[in-house]
Structure 1
């Protein structure tokens, strides 16, 4: 276990070996319960890693601020190679690619190279966060929608109009109610003025970043992490200076569309 409600470490598995359907079903069940699975001490190459990822859905390929893998579509590189800073989204609380019309169900990272100290990833459980809200707050946000818009580059704003999603979701597999909000994307509550919207977002961010809702993953080279991107925010901690850090990211969707959505 990594935390009381979030995260479990799996030792001894060899992800190079193809999974049976029973294996996949067991891992999905573990994901439903723990939200985050960490496979330690793996010896995968990129193609083997992608084959493992495909067990959980179709790979999502899209123009990202992260560089693409040179030979493998659908794999994005998270690195500070040549002292190039990682994109700002690593160092803020976010869901992966929630601004896409078909948002990822699951996110996966493989640690290729990690710094000697630091470079952890912190996760926040949005199921736990929702449970901790007062009944009055739950009632006030029940029917709200927020925007998810890629804003950093003009090409993003041009090609990816804002997607509107329910702030409170019901998980399609577990039935658990949870928040669905990406703080990195400066969410705005639909129909609210900017000031009131910002006030609510600050309240939710304070709840989501409570230590009681969080777990911290310290990486070792070869580790593979798989998590439910619908219910876990994450944050890449930048405390490793110029030390090399490289991970491979894959996003998958299990269904064509997971949430009721519309474009504005």
Structure 2
């Protein structure tokens, strides 16, 4: 038996259940909630790496992430997102973005499982609903961008937040560039699929593109589209990268998250 508690404005929802004891019907309800709310989260979960990976496989094929080291040889799909108190500069992911949009086939979903967190409210993840952003986009802008694609780079503005962790890989990672439609249809709803942290231009180039870029990226992250998720230890969150932007909030201290991305 699971209980679904939507947040305000239907931006995300909490689900109360035990992720190690789910029926097929429970999984269907969880997937339906993810499609509807964009991000869902589960508190107080007792997950080993094996059960974490097993749960993730219900959502698709697990992806490899070249820019962070894997947890172990046994669990390369789990990457370690860590903030150390000695780190300088911004936290990993500290700018609104959608994961790995600079690849030709970006992951549909991302999962984060908290292993070590600062005090509650000190290291939130903020989400922005791109369903709401699309619905509130002026009609003239929708017409201008209907057939336009965005160009994205792994060396975009947000890349500065990966430097500490990329150094741990011990090798230089080449720049990745991709092109994707800016509007995406998920089931019956449209979303703005554009990552401010990776965006470098429009294709084809359009009139007043700098002005339009500034408007679009500012519109996507309006406060009225946002929800701030507070982390506790042993909490799992899943979000749809096609309908949600997210960012880490600035904080000092130690935090360890185990991440899985899913195609």
TM-score normalised per structure 2: 0.85
Q: CA deviation at 1:128?
A: 0.5
Structure 1 residue 252 displacement after superposition: 0.4
Distance in 2 (alpha carbons) for counterparts of 1:85 and 1:2: 34
TM-score w.r.t. structure 1 length?
0.85
| Segment of structure 1 superposing worse, 77-86 or 222-231 | 77-86
Aligned partner (choices 180, 198, 208) of residue 165 of structure 1: 180
Q: Relative to 1, partners in 2 of residues 1:87 and 1:67: Cα closer, same or farther, differing over 3 Å? A: farther
The residue that corresponds to 1:199 in the other structure is 211
Q: For the residues of structure 1 that align with 2:90 and 2:112, how far apart are their CA atoms?
A: 16
| Superposition RMSD in Å | 2.0
1:150 equivalent to 2:165? Answer no
Give the Cα separation in 1 of the matches to 2:88 and 2:108: 27
- C-alpha distance in structure 2 between counterparts of 1:50 and 1:114, whole Å: 21
Structure 2 counterpart of 1:180: 193
Query: 2:94 matched to 1:108?
Result: no
2:122 alignment counterpart: 118
Q: Residue 110 of structure 2 aligns to a residue in which SS?
A: strand
Q: Distance in 2 between matches of 1:86 and 1:51?
A: 35
Report the CA distance between 1:178 and its aligned residue: 1.1
- Which one of the candidate residues 255, 259, 263 is aligned to 1:245? 255
Q: Relative to 1, partners in 2 of residues 1:190 and 1:47: Cα closer, same or farther, differing over 3 Å?
A: same
8 A Cα contact 1:89 1:184, kept in partner: no
Query: Is residue 9 of structure 2 the alignment partner of residue 4 of structure 1?
Result: yes
1:69 alignment partner in structure 2: 71
Change (3 A) 1:86 1:119: farther
| Aligned residue-pair number | 242
Q: Deviations over 1:192-213 (max 9, x none)?
A: 27x9433222211211111110
Partner of 2:3: none
Give the deviation of 1:47 after TM superposition: 1.8
Q: 2:43 aligns with which of 34, 37, 40?
A: 40
Q: In structure 2, what is the Cα distance between the partners aligned to 1:119 and 1:196?
A: 38
1:259 is matched with: none
- Asked if the contact 2:91–2:248 (Cα under 8 Å) also holds between the matched residues in 1, the reply is no
